[in-house]
Structure 1
């Protein structure tokens, strides 16, 4: 089981490389958390205290997910031996979906590259 430092690195740091599987699964986890919070929000009356709580929780998760998705994409680009700045394309709506699919499909650079010795670990 991964320790806290590895999870923190995976979701919040920009150094190192990440594999296709880790990128996909981490992105899926972030999406599931957002969908769950949005679902919980829809179950309560809109003007209630509970509704306000779930709305705030959802928007907090969205903000955290934006950072995490960029960090994951930068590390995935590093695995492809590409500069992380290309992750800025994730902020373009249609391009972001295409970029996610492409990053899930293309294999990384075998062996070490300028961004790290191996995948799924910090540089």
Structure 2
């Protein structure tokens, strides 16, 4: 699978499984991009055209990140042989942090499971 297709699958598809490392690194990448855009927004004068552009970019990335975080969570849950619907817990404020840490710590199912033959690839 070409790199572009692999990245699209990682961030936007719900099938397959991802490892702890891939889940953590992809989640951190999304958080860093959001933090950078928010930082840039805070550097410009309030109400300026530049500020509006940074704000629009930030909110666009937040919307894409919501989808990506759910897709990553579903695939990570698949790796530990759990149904993807549990990814809804990522929307509960305090629980979301705990859920992220749990998904980063719990090892995946060794070998194939009902969600895929191996980690870090579509089913």
DSSP 3-state at the match of 1:4: helix
Displacement of 1:46 after TM fit? 1.3
1:16 corresponds to = 16
Displacement of 1:59 after TM fit? 0.4
Q: Which residues of structure 1 form unaligned runs of 5+?
A: none
Matches of 1:27 and 1:113, distance apart in 2: 23
DSSP 3-state at the match of 1:116: coil
Q: Which residues of structure 2 form unaligned runs of 5+?
A: none
Displacement of 1:100 after TM fit? 0.1
4+ residue runs over 6 A deviation: none
Superposition TM-score, scaled by structure 2 size: 0.98
Displacement of 1:99 after TM fit? 0.1
2:109 corresponds to = 109
1:27-56 CA distance string (max 9 Å, x none): 000000000000000010111110000000
Number of aligned residues: 122
1:38 corresponds to = 38
